[in-house]
Each structure stands twice: as C-alpha cells, then as structure tokens.
Amino acid sequence: MVKPLSIQDFLQLNDDIVLIDVRTPAEFEHGHIPGAFNLPLFSNEERVKVGTTYKQVGREDAILLGFDLAGPKWSGFIKEALVIAPGKKIAVHCWRGGMRSGAMAWALDLYGFEVYVIQGGYKKYRRWVHQQFEKPYRLRLLGGMTGSGKTRLLHKLKEMGQQVIDLEELAQHQGSSYGSMNKMVQPSQEQFENNLAHQLKTIDAGLDTWVEDESLSIGKCSVPNAFFYQMRDAVMINIKVDLQTRVDFLTTEYGALDKDFLTACTERIGKRLGPEQTKNALIAIRENRMEDFIRIALVYYDKTYRTGLAKRPSGKVFALALTGSDDAVHAAQILTFSQTIQTPIPAQT
C-alpha cells in the first residue's frame, strides 16, 4: 500500500527511507532535495513530448504516450531502485506529487517496496525551503578583512561544538573575484537555497549560530533576502589580524593558482582597482611576484571591506585583535569574547 507523507514529516524521519526524485535529469540538476537520488521516469526530451501532447491534444493522450515511453523501462526502474534502496523502503516525489510519482510508486509497491509519496512534491518542498529563511535565528557574524582566516576559524568553532553555517562552502565560492579558486563549480541558485535550508533545519534557534560576514552575492549565488537581513542585523565580531599575516596566508593560498586565471580575475576588477594598480598587479603575476600581487589586490579589498563595515550599526560591531597563528587559541578567544556580548533571543514566528 502506497502511503502519503508530508515533506515536513519526511524530513524528520531517519535515514533508512531512501528518497528518489522521478523528475527529469534537467529538473534534478537545476535543484533537488539534498540526499535524493534521481530515477527519472522520462528523459528530458520525453517529458517535452508528453507536455506538448498534453497541451495540444489532451490529458488522456498524454497519459497513453507516457505509458508508451515508460513501458520498456519498468524492469530497469525496479532494478535500479533495489540498488539505491536495498532495504526496500523508499519515498518518491515528482514536481507536484502527481502522475509521475504516482506511476513510480504503483510499480514499486507492486514489486514489494514499502513506498511513500511526498505530498505536493518538489513544489511543496520549495515552499518549505523559503520558510526556513523566514525563521528567526540567533546569528553571530565573524568579520574581518580578506586573509584574516575567517573560514578556518569557523571550522574550528564547529569542531568546538558551535553551530556554524559556512555559506562559502555551500556556494562553492570564496566570495571574491578569485573565489572559484579555478576549480570550484557553483551550484544553481535553487540548489544553494536547498542546501542552506537543509543545514538550517538542524539549527537550535535558541543558541548562537556562527556565520561569516558575506555580501549578498557569493559568486553567482545570492544569500536569500530573509536570511541576509538577519545577517545584517546581527552582532558581528570583527577580528583584527596584522597585514603581514594576511599577506602570507593569501600568498600561500592564491600564489599557486594558474596565472591565466589570476590575470583574468584581476582584469575583471580593473575599473575598481584602477589602471595603474591593475597594470602593476598583472606584471607581478606575470613575474611570479605573488606577495606583491597580493598586497596590491588587498588595497582594493580592504577599501571595499571598510566601506561595508561603515554601513553597519556601530553598536553591533565589536573588534577583537588576534595575534599568533594558533586557530584553536583564536577560536577560544572569540568564544570568550562573544560571551561578553548580549544577544537578544529571537522572537518565534
């Protein structure tokens, strides 16, 4: 017997029920529930044919075409489902929880799977995603100029048991012109939102959650507005690290990157960097003078950071100087300092 299941109830279940998404590969790639497996009832091209038939001829003809297209695949679907879910417990969804998921659920149930169908499908899930950004969180921002090691410190805070959301990791981008590191591939905006919501559902809203200070855009991904507004209103600890430490760290991190990549990224910020500084930066890259290149780029990034910092309410920005190179010591200092700052408990909505 196929059982209906709300998306909220599914997300609270343990991991022994495997989720399969029967939408097309293109739909799945554009955005999917984290952890789902794609078992498409139709290929991208087949779905177009069925949709066109539905619009131009009618529902019944579209259903018949769907059966014709899927008919030879049923044995393969079941074999693949057995590989994905050997325990034979499976949840199924399509776009709206309609015919595609219904057909797949019927076949799997007939074979002997314990089958659940997600009510409302992926469309309902996306509504749930946006609701997560509206919830109030007790955010604490970790700020600091480029090269201050904020991401490393976030990870260290997580190791120490703190709640952490790493937006750059979710966006697969380090938030600057050079942020892809010539290797990271960013998710779609929709998938970025799904991944962020997936992490937020585990957050205890009554406890501090650490987030790195970010712009609205992280590469091509944008922080959802409702969550970004909470970030802008949060207390921020602005860590202060000396310039040479920052230069050394960035020289190590960026110095080994492909010179063509560094050149292209530098040219993209040429107007903001200025013609003379851009020329000098490009020469430094070409001559493998990475520390000189970093120092030039930091003139621009430090100015940009100061401009953004000046727009924040002064009563919510607290400076903390860090010395030395021990991330564990720095993380402990941040936590101790944070405990001296009162954070109001967010009102529940």
Which residues are catalytically annotated? 94
Q: Where are the beta strands (DSSP E) in the chain?
A: 3-5, 18-21, 37-38, 89-93, 114-118, 138-144, 163-165, 208-212, 217-218, 221-222, 235-240, 317-321
Q: Could you tell me the two tokens for 133?
A: 């950004």
| 164 three-state secondary structure | strand
Angstrom distances, CA of residue 90 to CA of 10, 16, 29, 108, 213: 11, 8, 21, 9, 39
Q: How many other C-beta atoms are found inside a 10 Å radius of the C-beta of residue 233?
A: 12
Q: Could you tell me the two tokens for 275?
A: 């013609």
Closest C-alpha to 66, from 39, 78, 48, 81: 48
Q: How far apart are CA 343 and CA 316, in angstroms?
A: 10
